[in-house]
Chain A
Amino acid sequence: MSTLQDDRFTFQRAEDTASEHIAAPRYSYWKSVFRKFFSSKLAIAMLILAGTIILLSIFQPMISGYSPRITPNINRPEMKYIRPNSTYWFGTDDKGNSLFDAVWAGTRSSLIVAFAATAISTIVGVAVGMWWGFSKKVDVIMIEVYNVIANIPTLLIAMILVYAIGSGMGSLIFALSVTSWIGTAYFIRVQVMIIRDREYNLASRCLGTPTWKIITHNVLPYLISVIMTIISRDVPGFISYEVFLSMVGVGLNRDIPSLGQMIRDYSPYLISTPYLFWIPVAVSAVISVSLYIVGQTLADASDPRTHMV
């Protein structure tokens, strides 16, 4: 056995800064979310598509000033049923109006209804769900309320609500959000109950952190991806409801342009002028699908577990 000689070693200075250095790359939550999101080519394409549609539906109706009541070409037969061409991109309808204007005005109504209803039902649902998950007293009452309401088809109640309070954008948003918030709240309640008693939350509670701070600092960030999933499912769902309700005549009233009403009005033209019918159907399908895929990808990206390299 050979002995170790001192001359095989050299002295090194102890550097404090080096010992503090963290070799792992810096982690930023939102940066990781965006990196993950933009790594999906499909999501980028859908984001561009959805963005274009949203911008078009915001600004195009402002320029065109379209309203179903204004029909300047109603007595000019040569203006009616023009097939899509370079002047009228989507052609003209039975009243001589440009379908391009009508479609974007209708899309705007659908998007306003869908986004507003999603926002209300998500905010109320998450707030109530948090409270529901943390408070045992609330749980006793709310679970009974949930059992009563949850078993009834949403569409049925929304339909009757719109019928009772009158058809308009406000009442449609109210009807859709009032029927759907409790589903969101229940979902959040279950999630809260799962993570409420994890060790890090118990530790927080032992250290005397107020419940409010536990909710906002410990639980809510954990739920971002869950909430994103709910949103990405709700928006297309509400668009679908709006289209259906307007189509059967219990959604938006006649003064508000809507894709559903267009689909209803033009379904008799399916054989003679199919573009009148298929363009609104296609637009409603494209916005729903693109928003859904963007939402799902964002939900996946906002889950920190997917950030591991």
Chain B
Amino acid sequence: MRKYILTRILKSILSIFAVVSIIIVMLFTMIDRTKIFENDPVLKKQKGDARTTYIYKKYDELGYMDYQRKVDLCKGVYDDASDYNACLVNGSEKQQEALGVWERKGYTVEYLKSGDPLVYHDYSALELLGHFYSQLIVVDSKNAIQDEANPDLERRYYTGKNPANGTPAILCSGCQYKYQLYFNGSFPFIHQNKITFNFGNSYPSNPGIPTAQVINEGQGAIKSYEQTFDTGLTESSALIQTSCQYKPTLDKLDSKRFSDHYASCLSAHESPSMVGTSYLMGIISLIIAYAFGIPAAIDMAQHKDKFRDKLGIAYINLLVALPSMAFIFFMRSIGTKLGLPDKFPQLGFGDIRSWIMPTVILALLSTPSLMMWLRRYMIDQSNADYVKFARAKGLSEKEIFRHHILRNAIIPIVNGIPSSIILCISGALITESAFAVPGMGKMLPNAINQLNNNMVITLTFIFTALSILAVLIGDLLMVAVDPRISLTAKGGE
């Protein structure tokens, strides 16, 4: 069994990488890359050489190509200072030699209007993947920061306290992050900064901010609270101290608060992050879906071919056949009649009314398959011999259904619980778009429309990983519920 789980996990990781790789290659090679500048306000203001270099710099940043300015290309070839200086003179022999070296490496040489040369090399599909995966996982260590301006930086791990709640924490000096391990009240309660994912920066929306931060950081207005800093200063501030990263140059305010260089921190916000919003909505809607779907399906199976069974089947068929969009809009207009907002941001996060309709609709969208299958399983079970026996022994119908049939019929449903999270995700894509809920689901179409490739890759990675994990957990859960099932046994030939 352990071996099986191990291979399953390995296969799951492999499939995540397969999907993400295909998507990276597709996004970087198939989409016209000049299009990414369509939504960039900075480029519109620039012209001439500044424009050209800006474009190449952005391509380099976004991982399309490797680009070297004159300074960099000379530095890359010559170690010696006099050679290097000679190389900087346009048209010099040394410069021509350097360009020759780059050309042999497969780079293309181009000249700006000022006469300065530049070289670039478009990444091939394999190089694209290498580039992405080599910087995907970042492991923090006490030698991570190499700052020439700060050579005496202490390098050690030590224990301390989380300033927000006083719980113990592991801290580090010399790492990128100051707080390596800490506890707090938000899910999953134990947090670490040792291993982080780097999906690149978001562009052109939220430029310069890592995509992971865009979807993880809180939204809305900044929320200040009373806190004590390193230096003993107690003041009202929004900074989250556990998120602090190394900052090379400190300003006046920073040195008033911090005794070390860890001053680049995230801020606390009033509203939950995109991930948080989507999760909260997804989990509540899942609970509603099961709370409504399971009793409804039991009732249908108990009254097979009666009126309520037919009503239930009509409901299932209607929901399967109706375009989800039409169903959502229909429900939304009912909600508006009841005085609920038709767009989430109208009343915002704080108001419960803005959550009701999206959550209920998300729940209803996942009920038909649940009801259809549970009803099917229960009806199949109700013809089994053990049920006939129970009936012959004089057990009441209610007892047979609750204690005998349901126990057996629920097993495949247990397997489906994590998979309904997948349904929740794709349902969330539609619901969040319709209600303009600021969550991950709405972020994907937005990112696509803005040609924000890194964001698309990040979201694909998250969605794919979640789905694959959900299927795995579902299978393991099924084994836990029903000891008769073995995932490793080979059946048939």
Mark A residues whose CB is within 8 Å of B: 144, 147-149, 151-157, 159-161, 163-165, 233, 236, 239-240, 243-244, 247-250, 260, 263, 267, 270, 277, 281-282, 284-285, 288-289, 291-293, 296
Give chain B interface residues in 430-472, CB to chain A under 8 Å: 430, 433, 444-445, 448-449, 456, 460, 463-464, 467-468, 470-471
**A270–B276 alpha-carbon span in the complex (Å):** 30
Chosen A-B contacts, 18 in total, with CB atoms closer than 8 Å, are A148-B15, A148-B18, A151-B15, A153-B425, A153-B429, A156-B425, A156-B429, A159-B448, A160-B456, A163-B456, A164-B27, A233-B320, A244-B325, A247-B433, A250-B449, A267-B329, A285-B323, A289-B322
Given A288-B321, A289-B318, CB of A155 within 8 Å of CB of B467: no
A281 touches which one: B326, B429, B449 (CB < 8 A)?
B326
Decide if B471 touches A285 in the complex (CB within 8 Å). Answer: no
CB distance from A187 to the nearest CB of B (A): 15
Ranked 6 nearest A-B pairs via Cβ: A292-B321, A248-B445, A240-B323, A148-B15, A164-B26, A153-B426
Inter-chain contact A151/B471, CB cutoff 8 Å: yes
Report the Cα distance A164→B422, complex, angstroms: 23
Q: How far is the CA of A288 from the CA of B322 in the complex (A)?
A: 6
**B358, chain A: closest CB distance, angstroms:** 15
Minimum distance in angstroms from A142 CB to a CB of chain B: 14
User: With a CB–CB cut-off of 8 A, which chain B residues contact A159?
Assistant: 429, 444-445, 448
CA distance A263 to B329 in the complex (A): 10
* CB closest residue in chain A, given B429: A155
Point out the residues of chain B lying under 8 angstroms from A157, CB to CB. Answer: 19
Does the CB pair A281–B467 fall under 8 Å? no
Taking A249-B448, A249-B449, A263-B329 as given, write out 12 further A-B residue pairs in contact, using a Cβ cutoff of 8 Å, ordered by the A residue number: A155-B429, A160-B23, A160-B448, A161-B26, A163-B31, A233-B320, A243-B325, A270-B342, A284-B326, A288-B321, A288-B322, A296-B317
- What CA separation (Å) do A250 and B430 show in the bound complex? 13
Closest CB in chain B relative to A270 CB, distance in Å:
7
| A164 and B30 form a contact (CB under 8 A) | yes
Question: What range describes how many residues of B lie at the interface?
Answer: 35 or more
Give the chain B neighbours of A282 by CB distance below 8 A.
326
Least distance between A193 CB and chain B CB atoms (Å): 8
Interface set, chain B 23-53, CB cutoff 8 A to A: 23, 26-27, 30-31
**Residue of B31, B323, B433 touching A248 (CB-CB under 8 A):** B433
Q: How far is the CA of A292 from the CA of B323 in the complex (A)?
A: 11
Verify B318–A153 contact, CB threshold 8 A: no
Q: How far is the CA of A80 from the CA of B189 in the complex (A)?
A: 58
Q: In the complex, what's the smallest C-beta–C-beta distance from B13 to chain A, in angstroms?
A: 11
Q: Taking CB as reference atom, which chain B residue is nearest A283?
A: B326
Asked whether A236 lies within 8 Å of B321 as measured between CB atoms, the reply is: yes
- B11 interface residue (CB < 8 Å to A): yes
Asked if A284 and B471 sit within 8 Å, CB to CB, the answer is: no
Is B324 an interface position by the 8 A CB rule?
yes
Q: Are A249 and B445 in contact (CB under 8 A)?
A: yes
In the bound complex, do residue A147 and residue B23 qualify as a contact, i.e. CB atoms below 8 Å apart? no
List B contacts of A267 (CB < 8 A).
329
A281 and B329 within 8 A (CB): yes
Asked whether, in the complex, the Cβ of B31 is within 8 Å of the Cβ of A240, the reply is: no
Q: Is the C-beta of B307 less than 8 angstroms from some C-beta in chain A?
A: no
- Which residues of the partner chain A approach B422 to less than 8 Å between Cβ atoms? 151, 153
Residues on the B chain within 8 Å of A161, using CB: 26
Among A148, A260, A288, the most chain B Cβ lie within 10 Å of the Cβ of A148
Q: What CA separation (Å) do A277 and B324 show in the bound complex?
A: 15
Residues of B contacting A: mostly: helix
Contact across chains for A148 and B19 when beta carbons are under 8 A apart: yes
Within 8 A of A (CB), among B299-354: 317-318, 320-327, 329-330, 333, 342
Contacts of B470 in A (CB 8 A): 151
Residue numbers in A under 8 Å from B14 (CB-CB)? 148
Contact (A236, B323) CB under 8 Å given A148-B19, A156-B444, A159-B444:
yes
Contact mask for chain B residues 66-106; partner A; CB cutoff 8 A; 1 contact, 0 none = 00000000000000000000000000000000000000000
Give Cα distance in the complex from A163 to B23, angstroms: 11
Bound CA–CA A255/B391 (angstroms): 65
Residue on B with the closest CB to A242? B323
Query: Is A281 touching B425 in the complex (CB atoms < 8 A)?
Result: no
Q: How distant is the Cα of A124 from the Cα of B333 in the complex, in angstroms?
A: 40
Are A152 and B425 closer than 8 Å at their CB atoms? Answer: no
Name the one of A154, A160, A291 contacting B460, with C-beta atoms under 8 angstroms.
A160
B321 touching A156 by the CB < 8 A rule?
Answer: no
How far is it, in angstroms, between the C-alpha of A144 and the C-alpha of B10 when the chains are bound?
13
B323 touches A244 (CB 8 A): yes
Q: Is A284 within 8 A of B323, CB to CB? A: yes
Chain A residues with CB below 8 A from B323, complex form: 236, 239-240, 243-244, 284-285, 288
Nearest CB to that of B470 among chain A residues?
Answer: A151
Least Cβ–Cβ distance between B375 and chain A, in angstroms: 16
CA distance in complex: A147, B14 (Å) = 11
What's the Cα separation between A258 and B322 when bound, in Å?
17
Which of B324, B329, B448, B467 lies in contact with A151, CB distance below 8 A?
B467
Q: Which residues of B391-449 are within 8 A (CB) of A?
A: 422, 425-426, 429-430, 433, 444-445, 448-449
Q: Is the CB of B330 within 8 A of A281?
A: yes
Tell me which of B325, B333, B342, B426 contacts A247 (CB under 8 A).
Answer: B325
Chain B residues with CB below 8 A from A144, complex form:
11
Q: Is the CB of B15 within 8 A of A164?
A: no
Q: Please measure, in the bound complex, the distance between the C-alpha atom of A52 and the C-alpha atom of B434, giving whole angstroms.
A: 30
From A148, A156, A250, name the one whose CB has the most chain B CB atoms within 10 angstroms.
Answer: A156
Selected contact of B325 from candidates A165, A281, A293, CB within 8 Å: A281
Rounded to whole Å, the gap between the CB of B93 and the closest CB of chain A is 45
Nearest Cβ on chain A to B345's Cβ, whole angstroms: 15
Q: Which of A147, A160, A236, A296 sits near B26, CB closer than 8 Å?
A: A160
